[in-house]
């Protein structure tokens, strides 16, 4: 069994090294990798995440969503993904700077603040007992002008006044390590912060891609998606029709 694990980690190290050496963008390389490795229920795209109240967040680099409950929506290459079926949003940078850290964390916060409005009893007419799962926010970078410790401290300062449900979960620097929340006292890695948890640095080095894969697939396996009730969007179409009705003069 140890030989199997050694081979797996060796393959992931080779994949990570290939991403760092490729001439294409890290976003494109990471997207292609996730398309090959994510469990079949989920897929990945780029585009806009929207809520049923009309709120949208544009420009998400990688949206990991439940393909079984998401209709194909969009205009041209720009996908429109409902927040209800969005499990994880990942922002990707080739090089992380102090300024870009703040910008991308603010973007992920905006996605996490989108309301999931579909009633819990919508699916099949049954009253579901579990709430909507959180949408996870991650930042993945190829390299960084900041050390992992500087990322940890700056991220903690930026998010200090934010509610825990709006904070991002981790910053991943490929080939170096991860800044992620851990449970105080036990050191258990967390998907999301809670009272008593704190940001910590994991020097995972060449195993960082393996950490990312296991982290996101474990979370996606743990959640139960409540599909969006898209019929509420009909009111939007009604408003559009009313706004475009011909006037008496034009008849």
The closest alpha carbon to 213, from 170, 249, 184, belongs to 170
Digit-coded pLDDT (tens) for 30-60: 999 999 999 999 999 999 999 998 899 999 9
Domain count, the chain: 1
C-beta atoms surrounding 36 within 10 Å: 8
Is the pLDDT confidence value at 9 over 80?
A: no
Digit-coded pLDDT (tens) for 83-132: 999 999 999 999 999 999 999 999 999 999 999 988 765 444 444 445 88
Digit-coded pLDDT (tens) for 187-238: 899 999 988 899 999 999 989 999 999 999 999 999 999 888 888 777 655 5
Digit-coded pLDDT (tens) for 159-195: 999 999 999 999 999 999 999 999 877 889 999 998 8
Residue 10 placed within a domain: yes
Residue 127 placed within a domain: no
Host domain of residue 157: 2-118+133-227
Residue 250 placed within a domain: no
Digit-coded pLDDT (tens) for 133-149: 999 999 999 999 999 99
Distance CA 119, CA 140 (A): 33
Residue 61 placed within a domain: yes
Residue 128 placed within a domain: no
- Three-class SS string for the chain? CHHHHHHHHHHHHHHHHHHHHCCCCHHHHHHHHHHHHCCCCEEEEEEEEECCCCCEEEEEEEEEEEHHHCCCCEECCEEEEEHHHEEEEEEEEEEECHHHHHHHHHHHHHHHCCCCCCCCCCHHHCCCCCCCCCCEEEEEEEEECCCHHHHHHHHHHHHCCCCHHHCCCEEEECCCEEEEEEECCCCCECCCCCCCEEEEEECCHHHHHHHHHHHHHHHHHHCCCCCCCHHHHHHHHHHHHHHCCCCCCCC
Residue 19 placed within a domain: yes
Distance CA 25, CA 77 (A): 18
Residue 16 placed within a domain: yes
Q: Which residues contact 136 (CB under 8 A, 6 or more apart)?
A: 87, 88, 89, 169, 191, 192, 216, 219
Residue 58 placed within a domain: yes
């Amino acid at each position: 069994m140890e030989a199997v694990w050694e081979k797996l980690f060796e393959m992931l190290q080779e994949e990570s090294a290939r991403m760092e050496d490729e001439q294409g963008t890290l976003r494109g390389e990471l997207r292609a990798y996730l398309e090959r490795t994510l469990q079949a229920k989920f897929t990945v795209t780029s585009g806009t995440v929207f809520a049923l109240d009309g709120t949208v967040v544009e420009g998400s680099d990688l949206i990991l969503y439940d393909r079984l409950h998401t209709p194909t929506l969009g205009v041209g290459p720009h996908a429109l993904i409902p927040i209800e079926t969005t499990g994880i949003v990942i922002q990707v940078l080739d090089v992380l700077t102090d300024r870009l850290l703040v910008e991308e964390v603010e973007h992920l916060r905006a996605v996490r603040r989108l309301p999931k409005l579909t009633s819990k009893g919508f699916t099949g007419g049954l009253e579901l007992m579990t709430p909507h799962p959180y949408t996870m926010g991650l930042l993945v970078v190829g390299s960084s002008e900041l050390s992992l410790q500087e990322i940890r401290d700056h991220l903690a300062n930026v998010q200090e006044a934010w509610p825990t449900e709006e904070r991002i979960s981790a910053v991943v620097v490929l080939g170096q390590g991860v800044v992620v929340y851990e449970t105080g006292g036990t050191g258990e890695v967390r998907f999301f912060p809670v009272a008593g948890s704190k940001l910590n640095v994991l020097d995972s080095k060449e195993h960082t891609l393996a950490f990312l894969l296991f982290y996101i697939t474990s979370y996606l396996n743990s959640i139960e998606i409540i599909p969006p009730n898209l019929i509420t969007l009909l009111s939007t179409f009604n408003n559009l029709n009313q706004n475009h009705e011909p006037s008496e003069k034009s008849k």
